[in-house]
A and B are shown apart, each in its own frame.
Chain A
Amino acid sequence: MSGGNKTANTEPWGGFDDNPVQGSGSAVIDMENMDDTSGSSFEDMGEMHQRMTEEEEEVAAEAEAPEEETGDDGEFLGMKGIKGQLGRQVADEVWQAGKREASKAFNLYANIDILRPYFDVEPVQVRSRLIESMIPVRTITFPQKVAGELYGPMMLVFTLVAILLHGMKTSQTIIREGTLMGTAIGTCFGYWLGVSSFVYFLAYLVNSQITLLQILSLLGYGLFGHCVVLFITYNIHFHFLFYGLWLLVGGLSTLRMVAVLLSRTVGQTPRLVICGSLAALHMLFLLYLHFTYHKMVEGILDTLEGVNALPIQRVARDVPELASAAVNATLQTLGVMLQIRQSPA
């Protein structure tokens, strides 16, 4: 490149003709380099990016160089200079767009290759991990092993999506401004990724010996209990059955995760913080999923949205006594508070 600049300086005429060609020449060279590195590894990206920026700087330097020389030949070569600049600009834009596309495709391809090790499992392993997700291990003196694998969690999340769809349909849930499918996918993936990142953040705070991948795998396999419980209770509507399964199956899968986290955290308070928040989130999520998309929702929706009823008319609701008692208590409290506030006035 510097050689090109030298020739441009010695021969003012050649500068206009040579530079665009050199620009495209450097583009070709760079594309070839990209192809070479694409096979090797992802660590080359930084180096490649650095090289790209260097190339860009050189192109910019070349673009500036001829403009200094237009003083002598500006009148003579006016048209040619404009043409050359235009051509250079177009070539530059094309080159930029091409580079963007190429690096995007390159990123996608590299990402698939990067993910491949996490899907490297055998059916037997998946089966044993599913069973182990229900068996809490009591050894907390040394760190328990956690497999960093994403096939099982992904499939469990998709299964949970399908079960949620089923629950939404049978409970005749109506979702405005969205589809059932989108809501189900958003809920499941949101829980999995969101809670994993949250727990990872907590683990970072309390200095636990666990990676994000291990948390993703652990929490994903923990969803197996949810799948089982929800699949049964969306079809068999007994509240006692649900509470039993919630405590038994959900509790077992939560205990398993808590045991793993206990074995990888040191100190009483850190253990309490991280295990308590994970257990609460996990158990409450199951409760939420069950009661949000349960048949009980019908009555409330009818009341709230007034499909068939007049606004003030009273509608019999199919709400269990616990919930209605809670509502009554809240109303009473509100009433008492209002009375208290009114009494001084």
Chain B
Amino acid sequence: MAEADGSSRPFAGLSDVSISEDIPVEGDISMPTISSSQDDGFSTLDEPVKDTVLRDLKAVGNKFVHVLYPKKSKALLRDWDLWGPLLLCVTLALLLQGGSVDSKDDGGPQFAEVFVIIWFGSVIITLNSKLLGGTISFFQSLCVLGYCIMPLTVAMVVCRIVLLGSSGTVSFAVRLVVVSASFGWSTFASTAFLADSQPQNRKALVVYPVFLFYFVIGWMILTFAPAQ
């Protein structure tokens, strides 16, 4: 239609442009730019890389604090990330790497084993909680379970230090106490975060696999012995 008009009257298009109806359209165009510049205080495009990394690290560290002091907070659930779990998982696997059952082919399966246990276990627990009718999302649950490994990673560091000193009955007793405490802590913290999303009467069914998961990891840490 417009083309037909344009072919009949060559300058009709120009006169159309200057019609005053276009003015509100300009206003409309300027509105999004204003709103985006208001949001721009939050833009991360032109900040130094250091700021970006530090902000992410701060977010991860903030979540660590939440795990160490597990009060009913939604922060760990609301903005989940998998950086912290990855960091903790790799740290734990590397610390467990040195000692191996078989001293000849050192550690090869060990790293993979820890890695697989942690991620596979988390996925199983998450699927289980979904199947039992939990309202938590997949990655939220992975995030919580991954962050709650932190006490166990700390226990691993302590065990390493204790094992540097001696490897007698006393050191075993110390390690047992440390690992048991951190195992309890991990289970308690993850339960505090996850239990709210579950049906009230089924909490025990959700907690059992979590308990088993941290128990296996804790037991691996306890039986760890560095290679001579």
Contacts and interface: CB of A to CB of B under 8 A. Distances in A.
B205 A112 contact: no
Enumerate the 7 nearest inter-chain pairs by beta-carbon distance, A residue then B residue, closest first.
Answer: A119-B131, A123-B204, A179-B109, A162-B216, A181-B113, A179-B113, A174-B102
Contact of B215 (A115, A118, A123, A162): A162
Contacts of A162: 212, 215-216
B128 interface: yes
Interface in B160-216: 201-202, 204-205, 208-209, 212, 215-216
Given A126-B205, A158-B124, A162-B215, A112 B131 contact: yes
Given A112-B130, A112-B131, A115-B131, A155 B202 contact: no
Interface stretch (A140-148, A165-173, A248-256, A317-325): A165-173
B113 A180 contact: yes
- Which of A119, A154, A170 has the largest number of chain B CB atoms within 10 A? A119
A123 B201 contact: yes
A122 interface: yes
Given A112-B130, A155-B208, A174-B102, A122 B202 contact: yes
Interface residues of A, number: 26
B223 interface: yes
A154 B113 contact: no
B132 A119 contact: yes
A122 B131 contact: no
Nearest to A126: B205
Nearest to A115: B131
B128 A154 contact: yes
B131 A158 contact: no
Interface string B106-127: 0001001100110000001001
A121 interface: yes
B61 interface: no
A205 to B, nearest CB: 32
A169 B219 CA distance: 10
A239 interface: no
Nearest to B203: A123
Interface of B: 101-102, 109, 112-113, 116-117, 124, 127-128, 130-133, 201-202, 204-205, 208-209, 212, 215-216, 219, 223
Contacts, number: 54
Given A116-B131, A155-B208, A162-B215, A180 B202 contact: no
A120 B130 CA distance: 11
A121 B204 CA distance: 11
Interface in A96-154: 112, 115-116, 118-123, 126, 151, 154
- Which of A120, A121, A123, A172 has the largest number of chain B CB atoms within 10 A? A123
A159 interface: yes
27 contacts: A112-B130, A112-B131, A115-B131, A116-B131, A116-B133, A120-B133, A122-B201, A123-B201, A123-B204, A123-B205, A151-B132, A151-B205, A154-B128, A155-B208, A155-B209, A158-B124, A158-B209, A158-B212, A162-B216, A165-B216, A166-B219, A172-B101, A174-B101, A179-B109, A179-B113, A180-B109, A180-B113
Interface in A241-292: none
- Which of B102, B131, B209, B212 has the largest number of chain A CB atoms within 10 A? B131
Contacts of A122: 201-202
Nearest to B133: A116
Contacts of B133: 116, 119-120
Interface in A59-104: none
Contact of A121 (B112, B124, B130, B205): B205
B204 A181 contact: no
B225 to A, nearest CB: 11
A180 B220 CA distance: 12
A179 B216 contact: no
Nearest to A150: B131
A259 B215 CA distance: 35
Contacts of A123: 201-202, 204-205
Contacts of B117: 181
A159 B213 CA distance: 10
A313 B39 CA distance: 80
Contact of A169 (B101, B124, B215): B101
A333 B204 CA distance: 57
